[in-house]
Amino acid sequence: MGGRRILGWIVLLGVVLAVGAFAWAGRYGELEAIAPPDQNSFDRQLVERGRELTAIGDCEVCHTGLAGIPFAGGLALPTPFGTIYTTNITPDPDAGIGAWSEEAFRRAMHEGVDREGRYLYPAFPYDRFTLTTDEDIAAIYAYIMSDVPASDLVPPENELGFPFNIRLSLAGWNLLFLKNERFQPDPNQDEEWNRGAYLVEGLGHCGSCHSPRNLMGAEVNHYDGGFAEGWLAPALNENSTAPIRWSRDALVNYLYDGWDRDHGVTAGPMTPIVNHLYDRSEDNVYPMAAYVAWLGGTPVPTSDEAREAAADRIAFANEVEWDEANPPEPADEDLARGAVVYRDLCAKCHKQGADIVPLALTSTVNFPDPANILRVVRDGVRPPRGAMNRSMPAFGPSLTDENLVDVLRFLRDRYTDKPAWTDLDKAVAEARAELH
Ligand code: HEC
Ligand code: HEC
Ligand code: HEC
């Protein structure tokens, strides 16, 4: 960490603590514990709506730990400030939120405070969930209280250093970064756009991964791309590096199935998101796709228009596809070594005419950072539920670090017109260290 960053930290910390002290006066009170609500007391239609919304909010993805008990918490979330564990949100009155009234639940979702009035860490994306309407929060509450089995699992304590272990400092964070306001529809946009914006910005909390964060962990530069669990969550705005622009239909395919013929397959932390959207209603996923397409810039092209506009890239992609008549013979020694790895291990699937997206059109090879492609090649593709036949074996065990660097350098050179990735050796070494 450079000196300027440390200085930045100290200044920011001072601000947080000062504002936190200031906010002490306005701290939250405890809301009364209730007897867990009768499971059958909720309207079934409300519960079903809640099920749908809970999936869009990925509540289960985050609130399920290694024990594998849904919603019982315990998943470790590494942050620059230490490790935060998700809590048990099953209806168990002691370990979970069974003693929480709907009011307490709503306050947590809108303001990031627990029933007893303690501030919650923004690793829980309440800065996003705050946009959600009271009605939708009531539906999620109904679903959790009636259909999620209670579990008495107690997740581990957070491991945070001073001063981040002082929850009151979050009052400062909230003053700076939490806008406690519900979603306001934009009258200049149509109903589909507004529905999509509501879900993507709010419950879907897509920007939590897809936006960079400042030193205090707050989102900046909306959808400019961020990092999540070592993976690049790429830019979704006009800085997207996808060779063919994302149309609404391509996004529908990607968000439902995790695969699109113009873009390739999803991987890493995006896979559980997509798996949860797989069974979701068109009423929700289509608008989300429409909104994300709009983020990429207006006017939004149809798939055909996007392909037409990318005709050069497609021609290039086809030209460099691997086949008998078109083997690579890079003059450069380093690239030639990568080509040999490719010929021996990859070409049998990744070649002209295979039922597979040409590598030159896939996102990962075009990303500004090799984090994802290196994990895909190392760990293989464990495809999402909507694209089960598209799996690829892990090459981690059969490739040395040098082989891996060589083949990645070769892929970037052959299949894109983008500058070479720098520090590939370092990226590979870092990714390997993560495994231990
Ligand atoms: C990105 C991960 C993540 C997602 C997604 C997420 N949560 Fe959480 N949630 C957390 C973390 C982490 C905490 C604990 C924060 C803390 O310790 O301060 C938490 C805490 C909570 C709490 C407070 C519980 C308590 O015992 O204090 C509630 C309620 C909650 N989440 C509900 C939800 C609901 C409902 C959803 C889906 C709409 C959801 N969460 C989605 C990470 C997540
Ligand atoms: C937990 C972090 C996380 C969250 C939350 C998340 N994403 Fe992603 N997303 C990723 C990662 C990582 C990738 C890269 C996947 C890959 O390399 O295959 C990705 C890829 C994508 C892509 C492909 C972009 C491209 O150019 O290839 C789209 C589109 C996308 N996400 C949309 C969404 C939407 C919409 C949401 C909200 C519903 C969302 N994401 C929520 C992490 C996340
Ligand atoms: C047994 C067949 C097979 C082999 C061998 C194979 N792949 Fe794959 N690979 C796939 C499939 C299937 C996909 C999913 C993409 C699709 O369906 O379009 C994929 C996807 C990828 C992707 C991700 C593209 C994206 O969508 O973002 C990369 C990168 C990749 N492969 C590189 C390699 C490299 C490098 C090798 C050799 C070390 C290799 N593959 C060997 C079958 C294979």
> Could you read off the pLDDT of 40-82 as tens digits, one per residue?
999 999 999 999 999 999 999 999 999 999 999 999 998 888 9
The rounded Å distance from CA 100 to ligand 1 centre is: 14
Residue closest by Cα to atom 12 of ligand 3: 390
- Give me 49's structure tokens: 């709506």
CA atoms within 13 A on the CB side of 342: 27
Burial 76-103 (b: 16+ CB within 10 A, else e): eeeeebeebbbbbbbbbeebbbbbbbbe
Residue 128 has φ and ψ, to the nearest 5°, of -100, -45
Instruction: Please give the Cα distance from 336 to 171 (Å, whole number).
Output: 56
pLDDT of residue 12: 67
Instruction: Please give the Cα distance from 20 to 27 (Å, whole number).
Output: 10
- CB–CB of 113/17 below 8 Å? no
CA atoms within 13 A on the CB side of 204: 24
Q: Which of 51, 53, 62 should be mutated for ligand 1, with most atoms under 8 A from CB?
A: 62
The rounded Å distance from CA 339 to ligand 2 centre is: 30
Q: Which amino acid is at 152?
A: D
Q: Residue 9: is its pLDDT beyond 70?
A: no
Residue closest by Cα to atom 39 of ligand 1: 59
Q: Is 77 in the pocket of ligand 1 (CB under 6 A)?
A: yes
Q: Which of 193, 210, 227 should be mutated for ligand 2, with most atoms under 8 A from CB?
A: 210
- The set of residues, in sequence order, having a beta carbon less than 8 Å from that of 423 and lying 6+ positions away, is none
- CB–CB of 112/178 below 8 Å? yes
> Given the structure tokens 């749908």, which residue do they identify?
52
> Could you read off the pLDDT of 273-287 as tens digits, one per residue?
999 999 899 999 999
pLDDT of residue 80: 81
Residue closest by Cα to atom 40 of ligand 1: 59
Using alpha carbons only, give the angle 182, 188, 191 rounded to the nearest 5 degrees: 65
The rounded Å distance from CA 243 to ligand 3 centre is: 17
> Could you read off the pLDDT of 356-379 as tens digits, one per residue?
999 999 999 999 999 999 999 999
Instruction: Please give the Cα distance from 336 to 407 (Å, whole number).
Output: 9
CB atoms within 10 A of CB 269: 15
- CB–CB of 323/353 below 8 Å? yes
The C-alpha R_g of the chain, in whole angstroms, comes to 23
The rounded Å distance from CA 137 to ligand 1 centre is: 13
The rounded Å distance from CA 59 to ligand 1 centre is: 7
**Measured distance between the N- and C-terminal CA atoms of the chain, rounded to whole angstroms:** 23
Residue closest by Cα to atom 43 of ligand 3: 392
Residue closest by Cα to atom 33 of ligand 1: 59
Q: Is 23 in the pocket of ligand 3 (CB under 6 A)?
A: no
- Give me 181's structure tokens: 């306001």
Reported as a pLDDT band with limits 50, 70 and 90, residue 3 is: very low
Instruction: Please give the Cα distance from 140 to 387 (Å, whole number).
Output: 29
Of the candidates 66, 70, 144, the residue with the CA atom closest to the CA atom of residue 104: 144
pLDDT of residue 134: 98
Q: Residue 144: is its pLDDT beyond 60?
A: yes
Of the candidates 310, 305, 421, the residue with the CA atom closest to the CA atom of residue 372: 421
Residue closest by Cα to atom 34 of ligand 2: 206
Q: Is 291 in the pocket of ligand 2 (CB under 6 A)?
A: no
CB atoms within 10 A of CB 425: 12
Between 155 and 353, name the one with better pLDDT.
155
pLDDT of residue 1: 36
pLDDT of residue 79: 84
pLDDT of residue 165: 87
pLDDT of residue 14: 66
Q: Residue 295: is its pLDDT beyond 80?
A: yes
- Summarize the confidence of residues 170-177 as an average pLDDT: 89
pLDDT of residue 19: 66
Q: Is 265 in the pocket of ligand 3 (CB under 6 A)?
A: yes
- CB–CB of 153/88 below 8 Å? yes
- CB–CB of 296/244 below 8 Å? no
Residue closest by Cα to atom 12 of ligand 2: 233
Indicate which atom in ligand 2 lies nearest the CA of residue 289. Answer: 35
